């Protein structure tokens, strides 16, 4: 388990908001249920189309937030998902968590 994955699990366990706004595009982050993270990744075929990435949330607009193999946080489209189109959001989980605001 990567550091970012450990930090993601710690975020869930902390009871912090699971639907938040962001100051950057895509502006909304809706975390998937913790117990269903692996299932969602399999259903969206993340291992097949974006090996090494781990999805954990949706933007609500056709994009998935994911932890990249380097531990950075990126946004990937559900359709046309591949590492080369990953939109960088934050260089680390801690930076990403600091971007979350205005719990909905």
| Whole-angstrom distance, CA of residue 42 vs CA of residue 32 | 13
Q: Which one of 3.40.1580.10, 3.40.50.300, 3.30.565.10, 3.10.290.10 gives the CATH number of domain 1-6+39-104?
A: 3.40.1580.10
pLDDT at 56: 97
pLDDT at 25: 82
Q: What is the distance, to the nearest Å, from the Cα of residue 23 to the centroid of all Cα atoms in its chain?
A: 15
3-state secondary structure 31-74: ECCHHHHHHHHHHCCHHHHCCCCEEEEECCCCEEEEECCCCCEE
pTM of the model: 0.92
Cis amide leading into 26 (omega within 30)? yes
Q: How does pLDDT run along the chain (104 residues), one tens digit per residue?
A: 567 689 999 999 999 999 999 988 888 999 999 999 999 999 999 999 999 999 999 999 999 999 999 999 999 999 999 999 999 999 999 999 999 988 65
Q: Token pair for residue 59?
A: 């933007």
pLDDT at 24: 82
pLDDT at 5: 82
In angstroms, how far is the first alpha carbon of the chain from the final one? 29
**Domain locations in the chain?**
1-6+39-104
pLDDT at 77: 97
| CA nearest to 85, candidates 102, 63, 69 | 63
pLDDT at 102: 80
């Amino acid at each position: 388990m990567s550091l970012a994955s450990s930090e993601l699990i710690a975020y869930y366990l902390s009871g912090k908001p699971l639907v938040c706004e962001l100051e950057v595009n895509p502006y909304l982050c809706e975390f998937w249920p913790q117990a269903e993270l692996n299932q969602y990744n399999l259903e969206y075929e993340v291992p097949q189309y974006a090996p090494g990435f781990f999805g954990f949330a949706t933007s609500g607009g056709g994009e998935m937030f994911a932890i990249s193999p380097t531990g950075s946080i990126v946004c990937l489209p559900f359709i046309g998902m591949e590492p080369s189109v990953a939109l960088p959001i934050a260089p680390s989980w801690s930076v990403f968590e600091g971007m979350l605001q205005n719990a909905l």
